[in-house]
Amino acid sequence: MNDVISTAVRIGKYVYWISYLLNKLIPGDQLETVHVERQRAQAAYDLIDYYNHFSKGETNRLDALRKEGRAGRRQVAIILRRLNTVAKEVDLPSAEKV
């Protein structure tokens, strides 16, 4: 579990620095590329966060998202599919539960 937490922290730092670069350093023509990379980093961070909550049996975020209608249910299905893939790939005791 510590590996997952340290990865989440690392990704959070990447998201912070990418946001900083977006605001301060990146010329306009490179903005789209950095924006896409930032979105991917944020998605990875969110997936790790969902994994951590789900491994503890906390499904409040997913339940709330599911209640947002068709689009929410679709998003929950995508998240759960991705969590299943992550759980198959990681070597953690909580992976079986997730």
Q: What is the pLDDT of residues 14-44, one digit of tens each?
A: 777 777 666 666 666 676 777 788 888 888 8
Distances in Å between the alpha carbon of 22 and those of 9, 13, 46, 47?
20, 14, 20, 23
So what's the pLDDT on residue 93?
73
Extents of the domains making up the chain: 2-95
Residue 5 DSSP code: H
For the whole model, what pTM was predicted?
Answer: 0.61
For residues 98 and 89, the answer to whether their CB atoms sit within 8 Å is no
Kindly report the number of other CB atoms within 10 A of residue 15's CB atom.
19
So what's the pLDDT on residue 55?
81
**pLDDT tens, position by position, 38-95:** 888 888 888 888 888 888 888 898 899 899 999 999 999 999 998 888 888 877 776 6
Which of 1 and 86 is assigned the larger pLDDT?
A: 86
So what's the pLDDT on residue 41?
87
Q: CA-to-CA distance for 23 and 29, rounded, in angstroms? A: 14
